């Protein structure tokens, strides 16, 4: 393989990897599979970073990238923005759900006055929740 075609193949491989991982993360968001999403999201972040670096480090003498790349890169940008919004919505929903189970503490401390020499458990805001079974 000629060196210049190898240089243009690397960004193609990286872009394909980013597109594939975007699809995987999107599917995991729809499924609500948090553990798998936690494993896949860093892979997507690294692949996107690798693609960005490869494109930034292309020599000026390298052949131009195919015109369809602009369309594919714009699609990747759009998908990333959409997934960020979905994650923000999911985080807000989760926060509301947690707040409905654990009401906020009015005084901001859990054990005593908040100082190292506080009152310990006496007068604390800690509560024990018991099931009604």
Contact 111, 124 (CB under 8 A): yes
Measured distance CA(52)–CA(74) in Å, rounded: 13
Measured distance CA(14)–CA(104) in Å, rounded: 46
pLDDT at 114: 55
pLDDT at 124: 45
The pLDDT averaged over each successive group of 10 residues in the chain (133 residues) is: 45 92 92 89 92 87 84 90 87 85 67 54 50 51
pLDDT at 95: 86
Can you give the residue ranges of every domain in the chain?
3-101
pLDDT at 19: 96
Tokens of 106: 């009015």
Residues 6+ away with beta carbon under 8 Å from 69 = 15
pLDDT at 62: 82
Question: Is the entire prediction scored with pTM above 0.85?
Answer: no
């Amino acid at each position: 393989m000629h060196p210049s075609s190898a240089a243009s193949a690397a960004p193609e491989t990286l872009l394909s990897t980013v597109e594939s991982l975007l699809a995987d993360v999107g599917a995991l968001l729809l499924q609500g599979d948090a553990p798998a999403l936690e494993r896949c999201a860093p892979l997507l972040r690294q692949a996107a970073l690798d693609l960005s670096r490869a494109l930034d480090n292309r020599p000026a003498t390298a052949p131009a990238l195919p015109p369809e790349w602009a369309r594919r890169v714009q699609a990747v940008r759009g998908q990333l923005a959409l997934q960020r919004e979905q994650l923000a919505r999911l985080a807000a929903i989760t926060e509301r759900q947690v707040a409905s189970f654990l009401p906020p503490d009015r005084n901001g401390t859990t054990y005593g006055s908040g100082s190292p020499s506080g009152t310990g458990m006496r007068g604390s805001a800690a509560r024990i929740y018991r099931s009604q079974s």
